[in-house]
A and B are shown apart, each in its own frame.
Chain A
């Protein structure tokens, strides 16, 4: 597991797994789109709009997961002085921001036919919007410091302080009465979703994870090269 903390080892492994990963993600995307458009049933209440779920839910999960991994890497980087954590934070923040944006946009496209409005000031929606702004602040911080050492450590501290938002996003549907529905799958008891809808959701989630890892590998490699040549 040394390739998760060592840039040289990471480069070696990344060269091996990048192309298979990209190929697999395309296959899973094709399969997932096929399943979600043709092989999964309509919802008895929502009709065909339930298919937005197959984009909305994976991107929301990945937005949270990306931030959680960034928090983990920030702790590693600050506590154990592992510079790969800083490289990871710089490279991966835009990916998380894009996933959050996909989640917000697909959610509001889903909300218009179901709730009758593009946006409500609901606890879940607001906390996800705050998550998006936190991602944006991290990206802007990357461009506003002259000194690289100060910049990456300040960003890591900011990520740690901002991670208080994560449990708020996750539990907002339980703590407050929200229009957004509570968790269906990621809860302690058995998932209350039918397997015919669960299958495309899992396939799409795998596809999203793979494309996310592939883009992350590209960005981390670019970041390592630019640090080696002292461009940033």
Chain B
């Protein structure tokens, strides 16, 4: 019961922090939509071209805008000492990484999940493809959160070159992009591709607590 209380308080704190800075989440979403506008302006308003490459645009922009908020993943808690206090309360670093990953999923990725249907209307994507898009993003966004946790914990002590974190997420998200987009484009072998996506999610989810926990511990020890 005590353990459960700790988790509940952790999420209560995350909720309060994210709600006090709700404009950051909204800015992410605005970035997403403004980039869609930019894409359409640069390609031209031809409907057939847009619906042909619309899925690719949505996926690219989802990836880019979810890496925008990477700096907030651990950095604030690390700098004001909250990470150490949470650890001293009896949660291991690996477990903190798991909790943080789910909190990032809830407060950063779920708003994107809600804004995908609007993007589909703007980009002229067919309604039957929307279901596949939502399913693939629902699985892949948790994978992206895990990758974000790994890369942002690696770059906690990196004061010079913060863009490296985004590059790490993007280079490891290549297989996710490939399989998610192929789910949407070739609809016949839906199940096998979903299984591959789940497999990638499980691999990354298993690596995440180990890698991020180790990096958090290192950074706190040598700060």
Contact = CB atoms under 8 A, between A and B. Distances in A.
Interface of A: 126, 130, 133-134, 137, 140-141, 143-147, 149-151, 153-154, 157-158, 160-162, 164, 168
Contact of A133 (B157, B171, B215): B171
Given A154-B215, A157-B215, A161-B207, A145 B158 contact: yes
- The range of chain B's interface size is 20 to 34
Contacts of B167: 133, 137
B168 A158 contact: yes
Contacts of B168: 137, 158
29 contacts: A137-B167, A137-B168, A140-B161, A140-B164, A141-B164, A143-B160, A143-B161, A144-B164, A145-B157, A145-B160, A146-B157, A146-B160, A147-B157, A149-B218, A150-B218, A150-B219, A150-B222, A151-B157, A153-B218, A154-B154, A154-B157, A157-B154, A157-B211, A157-B214, A158-B168, A161-B150, A161-B172, A161-B207, A162-B172
Nearest to B203: A164
B89 interface: no
A126 B172 CA distance: 13
A150 B164 contact: no
A130 B167 CA distance: 11
A225 B161 CA distance: 26
A161 B172 CA distance: 9
Contacts of B161: 140, 143-144
Interface string B187-223: 0000000000000000100010001001100110010
B174 interface: yes
Main secondary structure of the interface of A (DSSP, over half): helix
A168 B179 CA distance: 14
Interface of B: 150, 154, 157-161, 164, 167-168, 171-172, 174-175, 203, 207, 211, 214-215, 218-219, 222
Given A137-B164, A137-B167, A164-B203, A146 B159 contact: yes
B183 to A, nearest CB: 16
Contacts of B164: 137, 140-141, 144
A130, A144, A149, A160 — most chain B CB neighbours (10 Å): A144
A149 B171 contact: no
A164 B157 CA distance: 25
Nearest to B200: A164
A19 B164 CA distance: 38
A134 B207 contact: no
A168 B203 CA distance: 14
A141 B214 CA distance: 17
A130 B170 CA distance: 11
A227 to B, nearest CB: 17
A154 B160 contact: no
A132 B194 CA distance: 29
Contact of A154 (B159, B171, B172, B218): B218
A126, A145, A149 — most chain B CB neighbours (10 Å): A145
Contacts of A141: 158, 164
B197 to A, nearest CB: 15
Nearest to A155: B154
A121 to B, nearest CB: 10
- Going nearest first, the 6 A-B pairs with the smallest beta carbon separation are A144-B161, A144-B160, A150-B157, A150-B222, A154-B154, A144-B158
